[in-house]
Structure 1
Amino acid sequence: MVELDQKRKVAFVRPVAKKQQQSVDHVTGDKIPRSFVFARGKLPGPLKQLQTDLRKLMLPYTALKLKEKKRNNLKDFLNVAGPMGVTHFLMLSKTETAPYLRVARTPQGPTLTFKIHEYSLAVDVVRSQLRPRCPKDLFKNSPLIVLSGFGTGEQHLKLTTIMFQNIFPAIDINTVKLSSCQRIVLLNYDKEKKLIDFRHYSIRLQPVGVSRRIRKFVQNHQVPDLRSLQDVSDFVTKAGYGSESEADDEAATVSLPSDLGRVNRASTKSAVKLQEIGPRMTLQLIKIEEGLCSGGVIFSEYGNEGEKKKQETQEEEKQESEDMKEE
């Protein structure tokens, strides 16, 4: 009887109610895309950090702290993706020749494979800047997506455009809040080099014709130190703190339909400033497959130039299987 009583004494733990993210956009009515960013095979330290940077870039509709195990395969991620509403996979891998990024639509594809020619981590981009900028709510909303140079009419570039447009939630320009537009992902295609420049920027608005000192005074609510000045006008017109001429370019200014913060007011002109926050990548589209990392090849950069070229595109799959066996 004593043993039975001990078995029945089970500690009760009250479940913690987690706040559920919305699955459908209340404005557009479209399903909000979600993503998993994970590795296939072993990654060196810098590529692991690139994986973290990509997860942060895909916020808020991604698994920032996705736990991976060595024995996990693609089917494991796919089984979890359905119940969680995950629509896209971003998969990093490394071969002896180069790192690769695969972007796939779940559950049935297609899959785009990119060769990463160059990349810079977010921390490296920030270190190169004199005044890094990262507001606390910067990653609260999804970034905007802008694609340039993809309108060549080629079928594989059309598929690339559709894939990247669908990774991020769609916006309605008539109802979108300006305060939610704080980041932008820019993809520029170089037709001659057949390379894609992948950039990630933060967006900020700066009123035109207002000195930096006045702007900071309004934003920070701080009382300025006027002890060394003869007149209050010296505070505004002091050398080096006048209205910044680079912000007065008409091509880079907009008229706001509504107030945005304490400085940028409706019906006034504000300069649009982009500041790179990383990561940065130079990509080359290598292959497009019909399915999820499988199926018929819709596009191949190497075409039918022989087994030597095909073997280079298949090298990462072989390397992944070898890594799995070792682990």
Structure 2
Amino acid sequence: MARIRNKKKKPFVKPIIKMQSSVDHITGDKIPNSFVFSRGKLPGPLRQLQVDLRKLMLPFTALKLKEKRRNNLKDFLNVSGPMGVTHFLILSKTDTAPYLRVARTPQGPTLTFKINEYSLAADIAQSQLRPRCPKDLFKNSPLIVLSGFGTGEQHLKLTTIMFQNIFPAIDVNTVNLSSCKRIVLLNYNKETKLIDFRHFSIRLQPVDVSRRIRKFVQNHQVPDLRNLQDVSDFVTKAGYGSESEADDEAATVSLATDLGRVNRASNKSAVKLQEIGPRMTLQLIKVEEGLCSGGVIFNEYGNHVSSKNKKINDEKQENEEDKDGEQEHEEDEEEEQDDVEED
């Protein structure tokens, strides 16, 4: 019996996975990419924190990175080279506290932070009356703002450089304002030595425009005028917003170009920040030269030990000086006694 072949059947072709470009087509600089993974077993909340950190690092991170227990740090390092990964964010948990390590590949340095407190993105959204998270919010990388790190200490300088390089740099002259939709704020407190890590969404709102007109232009929907006698009632009824939305001169900016249908360069716009999480309170514990190894540049607890040892050494030195002084005094007395006997 003859075998009939299906001529319409097409051969299987393995799809080609296109990697995202690792070089900025405008500035020509290398775009940093990151891996966010964990070492050891994490509880449920820390697992969710890992997911939130991956969303925060979008679009230049592996959102669906699969990790197994048998994977070690060398496995991730071997994959990072061909994929252009420049930074590792590693979560871990001990009996005392969770930790976050931020490392530069392939040779370090590595910064180890103790997570004193943290809140998930879902917790922050649940605490807000009107949480806001548009679909295209994570399409572009966030801006980075550092505050309080300019104290001149070496470990704080390394922290500043690390966080500045973990996100793509922007050119003020060529940046597209529509791509600036998120911001990461890091504030260092000199007294407590803690770092407040916050993640916000940026929203521009035109000044001196009524709320109804603004929503009408943004939503592209025909308003309901059934209960109104004139169109002017629709404009004047809502006023210019509630007292909580009062315009602050310090928060108003003049745009260089038009942004959307509402925010125009000819008018002033108010900058609104809304927290989207995650939120963390970090404490810098250790700075290592290599990738999770090498010489220790800074150790928060080691400094206290060094100070204690220095104090002990100073006390020993003072005791030795006192003993030497007493010995010299005794020798002087013996020489005087010998002189008296000779006389």
TM class by shorter chain equals 0.7 to 0.9
Q: Per-residue displacement from partner, 1:278-322 (whole Å, max 9, x unpaired)?
A: 000000000000000000000011125459x9xxxxxxxxxxxxx
The equivalent of 2:161 in structure 1 is 162
RCO higher in structure (CA 8 A, sep ≥6): 1
What's the offset of the Cα at 1:212? 1.2
Q: What secondary structure, in the 3-state scheme, does the structure 1 residue paired with 2:201 have?
A: strand
Q: How does 1:130-169 map to 2 (within 5 A)?
A: 130-169=129-168
The equivalent of 2:240 in structure 1 is 242
What's the offset of the Cα at 1:17? 2.8
Deviates more, 1:277-286 or 1:264-273: 264-273
The letter of the residue matching 2:32 is: P
Cα distance in 1, alignment partners of residues 296 and 171 from structure 2: 35
The equivalent of 2:19 in structure 1 is 20
1:236·1:242 contact (CA, 8 Å) conserved in 2?
no
The equivalent of 2:30 in structure 1 is 31
Q: Per-residue displacement from partner, 1:91-113 (whole Å, max 9, x unpaired)?
A: 00000000000000000000000
Q: What secondary structure, in the 3-state scheme, does the structure 2 residue paired with 1:215 have?
A: helix
Cα distance in 1, alignment partners of residues 264 and 123 from structure 2: 34
Verify: 1:43 aligned to 2:42, yes or no.
yes
- TM-align CA RMSD: 1.6
Q: What secondary structure, in the 3-state scheme, does the structure 1 residue paired with 2:301 have?
A: coil
The equivalent of 1:217 in structure 2 is 216
What's the offset of the Cα at 1:232? 1.9
What's the offset of the Cα at 1:181? 0.2
Output the TM-score relative to the length of structure 2. 0.84
Cα distance in 1, alignment partners of residues 17 and 52 from structure 2: 25
The equivalent of 2:51 in structure 1 is 52
Verify: 1:287 aligned to 2:253, yes or no.
no
Unpaired segments ≥5 residues, structure 1? 1-10, 310-327
Q: What secondary structure, in the 3-state scheme, does the structure 2 residue paired with 1:92 have?
A: strand
Q: Per-residue displacement from partner, 1:124-174 (whole Å, max 9, x unpaired)?
A: 000111111111110000000000010111111000000000000000000
1:37·1:51 contact (CA, 8 Å) conserved in 2?
yes
Cα distance in 2, alignment partners of residues 262 and 81 from structure 1: 42
Cα distance in 2, alignment partners of residues 244 and 68 from structure 1: 49
The equivalent of 1:111 in structure 2 is 110
Q: Per-residue displacement from partner, 1:67-121 (whole Å, max 9, x unpaired)?
A: 0011000000000000000000000000000000000000000000000000000
Q: How does 1:268-283 map to 2 (within 5 A)?
A: 268-283=267-282
Deviates more, 1:243-252 or 1:217-226: 243-252
Equivalent residue pairs, number: 297
Deviates more, 1:292-301 or 1:26-35: 26-35
The letter of the residue matching 2:191 is: E
Cα distance in 2, alignment partners of residues 54 and 247 from structure 1: 33
The answer to which structure has the higher helix fraction is: 2
Verify: 1:297 aligned to 2:299, yes or no.
no
**Cα pair distance change 1:304/1:199, threshold 3 Å:** closer
1:116·1:283 contact (CA, 8 Å) conserved in 2?
yes
Rg larger in structure: 2
The equivalent of 1:100 in structure 2 is 99
Cα distance in 2, alignment partners of residues 18 and 247 from structure 1: 49
What's the offset of the Cα at 1:221? 1.3
Deviates more, 1:199-208 or 1:242-251: 242-251
Output the TM-score relative to the length of structure 1. 0.88
Q: How does 1:316-327 map to 2 (within 5 A)?
A: none
Q: What secondary structure, in the 3-state scheme, does the structure 2 residue paired with 1:138 have?
A: helix
Cα distance in 2, alignment partners of residues 305 and 200 from structure 1: 33
Identity %: 85
